[in-house]
Amino acid sequence: MIPYGRQDISEQDIQAVVDVLRSNTLTQGPAVTHFERAMAAYCGASHALAVCNATAALHLACLALGLGKGDILWTASNTFAASSNCALYCGAAIDFVDIDPRTYNMSVAALEHKLQVAERDGCLPKILIPVHFTGQSCQMREIKALADRYGFKIIEDASHAIGGKYRGEPVGNCRYSDISVFSFHPVKIITTGEGGLLLTNDAELSSRLDLLRSHGIERDPSRFVGDDHSPWMLEMQMLGYNYRMTDMQAALGTSQLRRLDGFVASRHALVARYNTGLAGLPLTLPWQDADCFSAFHLYMVRLDLTCIRRTRREVFDGLRQAGIYAHVHYNPVHLHPYYREMGFKPGDFPETEQYHREAITLPMYSSLSINDQDHVISTLKKLVL
């Protein structure tokens, strides 16, 4: 069976975790700080905060930016449900922006239009979450200009995009956003088993995120708001959570980070082979914006169903029968039953829905062998010709 994505763990990665297990600290220790510093340096952001997963990171980012009841958050519907669920955790309302038909990222034109209407109707969003789908950055410069014009905050859901670049700079540097979020789930580009990271250049936001990820409890007496400075005093200053990352996870993360550029290079080599092997078929291959260097978390094709004699389902089943565990990213969030109950319905985001009807995600991971990739290419070829 060839999965659509999988982790790549070396003996050195394993040793890094074992070293922590033999040390004195399993959580809130030096490995977490070390990982955070390495990530901040890699991305060129001032502050990095490791947490238990990206879903928690998105929740904390919304809380730290003050999202609550009566507020509105917008994101894309072509994403994993976590990108929008974070708004609901905070009691805020959710809405979506349709995608660009070439990049499958949030469309800047659709965003601008929706903002004009929302301004007129008095229902502008407080936060926008652009999702860097498949690892290709959204058009952040244009989105930031709209944020300045309409007064919303930006959280980049960069779960797919670690190791990618936008306009020559690392994704995650927050040049065009308030906070960026990465995921380290095993299907993502580097892994900590479960794990997430927040990056920001705002010191105030960083300390709020730090408190929120650990019960809202302040340990540093110089930051206490009350008078009790007894040596045993820890001050709970806001309602937080336990969203911490362990030192075992962080040590794995630091070890994986050393291999990140190599992982991304392998993914680019695989992309080049897919692009050559699948050229000339009734498929739309991933389109790359000249401003972007994608991390290529995912490789997807769009089937030209007017030329192909099979349905998408038949192509999909044909791949699975050949041992190729293809996938579809994503079932539009607004069409999940939970979201339909809020009033979303088919037709609300036509580009997202059209893309979803035609998309298939092919296997893509740094250790995918040439033989396995050739099997994917030849099987797909047979199915669409």
Q: Name the residue nearer to ligand PLP (CB basis): 53 or 266.
A: 53
Q: Is 91:69 a contact under the CB 8 Å cutoff?
A: yes
- Residue 86 CB, nearest approach to ligand PLP (Å): 9
Q: Which of 184, 197, 173, 118 is nearest to 151 (CA)?
A: 118
Nearer to ligand PLP, 55 or 105 (CB): 55
Residue 55 in the binding site for ligand PLP (CB under 6 A): yes
Instruction: Say whether residue 332 binds ligand PLP (CB under 6 A).
Output: no
In this structure, are residues 241 and 212 in contact, taking their beta carbons and an 8 Å threshold?
yes
Give the interface segment with ligand PLP, choosing from 49-57, 170-178, 282-290, 358-366 (CB under 6 A). Answer: 49-57
Q: Which residue lies nearer to ligand PLP by CB, 30 or 186?
A: 186
- Tell me the two tokens of residue 251: 């040590």
* Contact assessment for residue 189 and residue 162, using Cβ atoms and an 8 Å cutoff: yes
Neighbours of 163 (CB within 10 A): 27
Between 92 and 308, name the residue whose CB sits nearer to ligand PLP: 92
Q: Which among 47-55, 89-97, 265-273, 282-290 is the span making contact with ligand PLP, rule CB under 6 A? A: 47-55
| Element (DSSP H or E) covering residue 50 | strand 47-51
Interacting residues of 64 by C-beta distance below 8 A, sequence separation 6+ = 179, 205, 208, 209, 212
Give me the least distance between CB of 96 and ligand PLP, in Å please. Answer: 14
User: Under rule CB under 6 A, which residues in 122-151 are in contact with ligand PLP?
Assistant: 131
The residue (of 339 and 383) whose beta carbon lies closer to ligand PLP is 339
Contacts of 97 (CB under 8 A, 6+ apart): 74, 75, 76, 106, 107, 110, 111, 114, 128
What minimum distance in Å lies between the beta carbon of 273 and ligand PLP? 24
**Contact predicate 161/171, CB 8 Å:** yes
Q: How far is the CB of 30 from ligand PLP (least distance, A)?
A: 23
Which pair of tokens denotes residue 192? 């900590």
Residue numbers 193-212 binding ligand PLP by CB under 6 A: 196
Pairing of strands 359-362, 299-303: antiparallel
Q: How far is the CB of 379 from ligand PLP (least distance, A)?
A: 26
Determine if 244 is a binding residue for ligand PLP (CB under 6 A): no
256 binds ligand PLP (CB under 6 A): no
Least CB distance to ligand PLP at residue 157 (A) = 5
Residues in the site for ligand PLP, rule: CB under 6 A? 53-55, 79-80, 82-83, 131, 157, 159-160, 183, 185, 196
